[in-house]
Homo-oligomer: A and B are copies of this chain.
Amino acid sequence: MLHGGKGSGESTPRLPACKSAQVIIGVLGGTGPAGQAVAVQFAGIGIEVVVGSRALERAEEIVGSLKERWSGRDLPLVPGANETAAAADLVVVATPWEGVLATVAPLADTLAGKIVVSMANALTRWGTEMVPLMPPTGSVTVAVARALPASRVVGAFHHLPAGPGGDLEHPMDADVMVCSDDRAARQEVAALIDRLPGLRGVESGALGSALAIEALTPALLEVNRRYKTHAAIRLTGLPERDS
């Protein structure tokens, strides 16, 4: 997993990968607010990120605007179709929850053996209130794991607010709860998140934890509505990391 990505087969020029990390990250649905936030976070620490979209033109447009917004940083962002993003070493699914299964299922072969990070939350507004929705699998992350039985599915980034997450000038102040049935994959993703400014990856159990982690997002949105803020969570009582 730690060695360079497969060729994308696209004409988009490959940017030099950061020497401290050969991993290339692909973001499916990388043009939406959540996907853009994840993409700039990783690109901001020098990791090459393929911003994937159903429409390559859309990916090119978004990568252009992100590079323009952060023009002083030379972000290693590359546009691509979702199929290209899926060919990266580690893949984040940032599609809105309704589209997650339709997005990942046709890519199962490409995603086999890889860490696939699910970050979607099934939620809706019911009356005036943001509420979680319960998919038949209990969580979107478990649905992804069932759709990709040969992948190493990890839940993470569910609580990342898109606006602050996309703002590289103001590091966030948040823990990212990471869950997976694959302990090594969970550790790897948590360690990767530890490298992002202001974020800490917290290993939070197996995929059974995904229900709670996903459902917490609408509760945090209710906190935001009440206090007119972007709330995030921190876990207290954890030991200091060995960095």
* Residues of A bordering B, CB below 8 Å: 126, 129-132, 134, 138, 173-174, 177, 179, 202-206, 208-209, 211-213, 215-223, 225-239
Contacts and interface: CB of A to CB of B under 8 A. Distances in A.
Contacts of A126: 208
**This chain's copy number in the assembly:** 2
24 contacts: A129-B205, A131-B208, A131-B209, A132-B208, A134-B138, A173-B236, A173-B237, A205-B221, A209-B219, A209-B222, A212-B217, A212-B219, A216-B216, A220-B235, A223-B238, A228-B239, A229-B237, A229-B238, A231-B235, A232-B235, A232-B236, A232-B237, A233-B235, A234-B234
Contact of A239 (B129, B227, B232): B227
A136 to B, nearest CB: 12
A132 B206 CA distance: 12
A237 B230 CA distance: 6
A212 B206 contact: no
A104 to B, nearest CB: 23
Given A229-B239, A236-B173, A130 B223 contact: no
Nearest to A238: B227
A208 B222 CA distance: 10
Given A208-B126, A208-B129, A212-B212, A231 B226 contact: no
Given A129-B206, A205-B130, A223 B211 contact: no
B216 A212 contact: yes
Contacts of A237: 173, 229-232
Given A173-B236, A234-B234, A235-B231, A212 B223 contact: no
A208 B130 CA distance: 8
A209 B231 CA distance: 15
B208 A212 contact: no
A218 B223 contact: no
Given A227-B239, A233-B233, A208 B204 contact: no
A198 to B, nearest CB: 10
Contacts of A203: 223, 226-227
Contact of A213 (B208, B219, B221): B219
Contacts of A206: 129, 222
Contacts of A221: 205
